[in-house]
Structure 1
Amino acid sequence: MIRKLAFLIILVGLGFAGVGGWQLWHGSVKQHETMKKAQALTVTKKDPVKYKDWDPIKGETIGILYIPRLDKKLGIVEGTSPDQLEKGVGHYKSSALPGKNDQVVLSGHRDTVFRHFGEIQKGDDISVDLPYGTYTYVVDHMKIVDKDDRTIIHSTKPKEELVLTTCYPFSYIGDAPKRYIIYAYPKKK
């Protein structure tokens, strides 16, 4: 009886490991596809005036987030649903796009695209590359909030602000109770 129970526990464990491994692999493939699309989209800068009223549709690849400290280039998609975040960094649809002099909000999973997110430091550069230009920001400060805190997302017009969000604590298993927020402002030229 104990042998059968032990065998069953091992099978269940292998099943969970298999599902987790498949999810990681599948997410990695989606992120790679997004990055290829983002690179093709941003390779030639187009006229910013044409993109003045650009309103990407949910799920569309829109650009690249570059974090030099982490040596990471990550594809950005429009939207923050689970399907969209599986593809890469998500842009909150209700927030502005870079260069629009308002709050830009990007979010990602702590265990995929924003792994090592806690290593980002005040003063670090972060760039967002879009079809109509590259926007560089400097990290100003970080804070931790409850997962239900919606005061983070709001208009900052006419001041541009980049906000990066992910779940916290970073090593938490399951739905994390907090959010880690990074605030960055346009780099002065």
Structure 2
Amino acid sequence: MKSKLVGYLILTVGICFIGYASWGIIQSNVKANDTLEAAKKIVEESPSKSSKDNFLPKQGETVGILKLPTIKAELAIVEGTDPEELEKGVGHYKGSYFPEQNGQIVLSGHRDTVFKQLGELKLGDELQVEIAYGKFSYKIIDTKIVDSDDTSIITLQNEKEELILTTCYPFGYIGNAPQRYIIYAEKK
């Protein structure tokens, strides 16, 4: 009798954990979809109002769309990489550059929500960034796996334009991942 009760208790706790985790993922997906709709409006309505020189979004502001044609994904880009921003979509690393600003563009996202299919991308695949002042295409030229505390990939260099995508790795890992998956792309 006692072992049966313990079994039911463990089962109930497990179901609660799964439910809680599932609810979090669903909520994040809903926020990401809402933010994507806002991003589409920004990209469609703003071309004449912005230029690369006066493009200075505020923390948490929706700034554009990242398109990954190979995996048929459209993801909102939000300024900042704090948890609040990453719940809404792909975070633009504050201090990094935007297209045509001749520097390192760093975009980060969660591996279990917006970047869940990132591992399916291959060298040569196209990445597209759409923001208020234009549409820009990039080609994947390299990938790398680094330790989670390795910040050497974010140099904020201002010598040549490059797009860098970052997410936690391994993709199926439960909990805080020990590594980061990095994609490097150059302007087409």
TM-score, normalising length: structure 2:
0.95
Corresponding residue for 1:141?
142
Look up the SS of the partner of 1:127 in the other structure.
Answer: strand
Output one character per residue of 1:85-140: Cα deviation in whole Å (capped at 9) or x when no partner: 11110000121111111000000111111112111111111000001101110111
Q: Cα 1:50–1:184, aligned 2, differ >3 Å: closer, same or farther?
A: closer
Tell me, in whole angstroms, the C-alpha distance in 1 between the residues paired with 2:148 and 2:52: 33
Corresponding residue for 1:112?
113
Corresponding residue for 2:34?
33
Percent identity reads 47
Look up the SS of the partner of 2:66 in the other structure.
Answer: strand
Corresponding residue for 1:131?
132
Unmatched segments (≥5 aa) in structure 1: none
Q: 1:14-163 counterparts in 2 under 5 A?
A: 14-47=15-48, 50-163=51-164
Look up the SS of the partner of 1:43 in the other structure.
Answer: helix
| CA-CA distance at 1:155 after TM superposition | 2.8
Aligned letter for 1:39?
A: K
Q: Cα 1:152–1:42, aligned 2, differ >3 Å: closer, same or farther?
A: same
Tell me, in whole angstroms, the C-alpha distance in 2 between the residues paired with 1:123 and 1:18: 39
Q: Spell out structure 1 runs of 4+ moving beyond 4 A.
A: 48-51
| CA-CA distance at 1:5 after TM superposition | 0.8
Tell me, in whole angstroms, the C-alpha distance in 2 between the residues paired with 1:137 and 1:162: 7
Aligned letter for 1:104?
A: I
Whether the 8 Å contact between 2:123 and 2:140 is mirrored in structure 1 is yes
Output one character per residue of 1:12-68: Cα deviation in whole Å (capped at 9) or x when no partner: 011101101210111111001110100000013523764513211111110000001
Aligned letter for 2:99?
A: P
Aligned letter for 2:187?
A: P
Unmatched segments (≥5 aa) in structure 2: none
Q: 1:159-178 counterparts in 2 under 5 A?
A: 159-178=160-179
TM-score, normalising length: structure 1:
0.95
Whether the 8 Å contact between 1:48 and 1:133 is mirrored in structure 2 is no
| CA-CA distance at 1:82 after TM superposition | 1.2
2:158 pairs with 1:183: no
Whether the 8 Å contact between 2:79 and 2:93 is mirrored in structure 1 is yes
Look up the SS of the partner of 2:54 in the other structure.
Answer: coil
Aligned letter for 2:31?
A: K
